[in-house]
Chain A
Amino acid sequence: MDNIVFLFLRRMRQPLLTLIGVYSIAVLGLTLIPGQDADGQTWYMSFFHAFYFVSFMSTTIGFGEIPYEFTDAQRLWVTVSLYASVVAWIYALGTILSLVQDKTFQRALAERRFARHILHMVEPFYLVCGYGETGQALVRALTDRGQHVVVIDKDERRTNLIQLQNLRDHVPALSADARKPLHLQEAGLPHRACAGLVAVTDDNETNLKVAITSKLLHPEIKVICRADSREVEANLASFGTDHIIDPFDTFSIHLATAFRRPCLYLLQRWLGGEEDSQLEDPVYPPQEGLWVVCGFGRFGKAMVARLASEGVEVVVIESKPEITGEPPRGWVQGRGTEAETLLEAGLERAVGIVAGTDDDTDNLSIVMTARDISPDIFVVLRQNQSENRAIVKAVQADMVMHPSAIIADRIRVLLGNPLLFRFVSLALQEEDAWACELVSRVTALVSQRVPDVQELVIDERHGSAVCDSDARGEKVSLAEVLRDPWHRDRQLPFIVLMMQRGDGYFLLPDEETLLQHGDRLLVCGAGGVFERLRWNLCHATALEYVRHGDTQAHGWLWRHLMRWRKRG
């Protein structure tokens, strides 16, 4: 506050002094110079009239010579003071305008307004550092789910972009360097309502600094960080970052899952997908045969390592080995966009190709050339920029790797649906047949859209009817809760994926399981029908109906009447 006001006052000194000086000299002159009234008598202007006249003269309004016509002496004086005072006003106004438009001043104002807004936040919010591709996808995903977000990014253009995007919630954004702890503090890091920090800038050092700052200033909150290399990952893990996401590692794990357990991979994609998107088809990457990997950057290296560990033969195509490092034996020099390079790498007998360079045009070209030579080849495509979504979709690759989308999706699940995360890691330990059966059950539930996955908690706020019933000693089972409160003979179209009770997690709990206070359920089903399930949990009458089939009287008066009637 002080900074801005004092800056303003200090800059305004010169113009104000000039204005005062010019005004006082003009007024004094006008009072001293003799004028003539209507009868020709000498008359001296009073201070009041002189001030009035100079005011409207200097602001170029010019009502006229008051109260009598001026003598020539007065007119001479007025001419001189006119030029001086108008210039003085323009100078003063110009200074004010330039001061208000000053970038520093505006930035100071914006920062203050932002910090004050954050101070008043009551509901929990997440602090997202970095508003590039990943940040944008993440913020959209979070706000769509109704979670509050605060954004901080170094680039002013990016933070200005927020106002243009149609986000569901108001997202306060600060354009400042997140490496400075002061800015993180202004953005609300130590605030009570800050529930987590996500560092997804495109610079590893910044992410590191932000994560450390968060762990020091507000140790209890969750810190999720993006990392691009092993050293950075190790560094982040060393001081206890809660989740570190490396998109290339994550994708290579996905690929491994797709190799060994295609049903589980499909399930993962379905459950973790964005709301209202189409159900995707299963993919079956071929394990027997040759794979060609184009591009030996971070992604390429991760792919080669993963394929090698699966025992698959790999040939790498790389155009700049001096930057990326020498690929393993049998590599081909080139970009892969021309047919000769691909043929040299053995594309005719290859079963899969990975287009993993960091240029979208190159990648698409590789894919199309490869399909020309071998139309049924399995294609893994790396997408770098989300603006190319339309052409990537058109090329219909079997697997698309989009780093920002992977990070954003993972963080979205981590923050919005932590139980789902746990479910997937537990499901990895099951057989693929189990996953296949679950896939067919989900397909039966939802027609073409991705199922909605939500967490339900049995506590006073969300499951009061069940808790009350439990307290009375009448346990409620899962099967009862899953009946339709409109017709108790029908089942609601839901699958209970997992139940958490205390520290224990139970996959696909049995229908006869009795619910207790404090249980958490992970439920998936068609989106629109969740309300009915919630109704069962929290509304006593609905619960009664699904359990017993008729509603009993609740009110005191009615119960007495009923009793009286039964007796009679």
Chain B
Amino acid sequence: MNPEKVVFGFFIVLALTLNFGFFVGEIDNPEHHHAYELFAVVVVNLIATVLKFGDRSQMGAVLLATSLVAMLQLLAASLVWVYAVHISGQGLTPEITASIVSLSGGAMLANVVSVVLLVIETVMLRR
């Protein structure tokens, strides 16, 4: 039982589940997607990315890459949200909501790849 591995796995899976939670629902309905959940997704993905730092293996490099992709998409989604609500003042129209949710969908795919790689690594190292 390696506590480091527990924490590592915990945050990667949590990132995926929260992301899925945010993504699910009608794509253009702002009622189905809440800011708090996006906030939670961003924070947990950040933590997961930082945890993947410093691993020199090939697996570690690809994991870090997927995390960085997810972060990119999520930051883009947050920026679009901020722009819609605060800067342009038009609020969360269905189009904007659709953009935000689709970007988070992209992040979710990256997180799926991350989890799959984690599972593969675990299976290969089964003891």
Q: Mark A residues whose CB is within 8 Å of B.
A: 2, 6, 9-10, 12-13, 16-17, 20-21, 24, 27-28, 31, 46-49
Contact = CB atoms under 8 A, between A and B. Distances in A.
Contacts of A13: 50-51, 53-54
A207 B39 CA distance: 64
B24 interface: no
Nearest to B82: A48
Contacts of B51: 13, 17
Contact of A20 (B39, B50, B53, B78): B50
A6 B56 contact: yes
A27 B38 CA distance: 13
A27 B43 CA distance: 11
Contact of B85 (A2, A6, A17, A46): A46
7 contacts: A2-B56, A12-B53, A13-B53, A13-B54, A46-B85, A47-B78, A49-B86
B85 A9 contact: no
B53 A9 contact: yes
A47 B35 CA distance: 8
Interface in B34-49: 35-36, 39, 43, 46-47
Contacts of A16: 50, 53
Given A17-B47, A20-B43, A20-B47, A46 B53 contact: no
Contacts of A28: 36, 39
A31 B36 CA distance: 9
Nearest to A20: B46
Interface in B47-64: 47, 50-51, 53-54, 56
A46 B82 CA distance: 9
A20 B82 CA distance: 20
Contacts of B85: 46, 48
Contact of B54 (A10, A20, A24): A10
Contacts of A31: 36, 39
Interface string B15-44: 000000000000000000001100100010
Contacts of A46: 35, 85-86
A22 to B, nearest CB: 11
Contacts of A48: 81-82, 85-86
B62 to A, nearest CB: 15
A20 B56 CA distance: 23
A47 B85 CA distance: 11
